[in-house]
Amino acid sequence: MPDELSDPPAPSAPGEPRRHAGLSAAVAWGRDLVLSVIIAVVLIVFIYQPVKVEGTSMMPTLTNEERIFINKFTYRFGLGKIERSDLVVFWYPLDTSKSYIKRVIGLPGDTVEIDTGQVIVNGKRIEEDYVPDEFRDRQSMSPRTVPPDQYFVLGDHRSSSNDSRAWGCVLRQYIYGKAVFVYWPLKLMGRVR
């Protein structure tokens, strides 16, 4: 019994396979682009956000015009705890249309005071190797207790920082990110210290 043969495919018009391949490539490219945009949006909205530092209040840790990534995921969903020395990004309490970045010094319940520029938390002087002597001021502040669900924050450039010494503590609900990585300029690229 002879093997059965199928009919050969009908001849196609010239250029048709090429057009079909081009259409498939365009669809695949479009799909990949849409997927990339969705992933980028999820990363920016929920996890990492690029921001530009404006001003000198965090020098020398961060300088004017540096670009950094902040992690919004850790604080938004309560997976990370705000700790002393974290660099946090928050809505400025006196004008919530503005964002500030400062270093956490006092946690809820802490007593913070400043004696001629030396920060004292709960009766103990804290080591602040991130504040060079030329950026310290020699001001004092009487003891303040940080209210529940609030944080006392200071800039590293103490003599040019507008911070909790002037306008008080930051509500937890205003803190939306933690500075984690400098990406520009390239010579400063690396983890925020």
Whether 81 is catalytic: no
Whole-number Å distance between alpha carbons of 90 and 51: 12
Task: Give the amino acid at 189.
Answer: M
CB 107 within 8 A of CB 84: yes
Whole-number Å distance between alpha carbons of 88 and 159: 19
**Listed residue (157, 187, 177, 179) closest to 68, CA to CA:** 179
Whether 72 is catalytic: no
Catalytic-role residue among 12, 52, 57, 187 = 57
Catalytic-role residue among 72, 102, 161, 178 = 102
Structure tokens at 58: 């965090």
**Listed residue (103, 48, 44) closest to 70, CA to CA:** 48
Q: What residues are labeled active site?
A: 57, 102
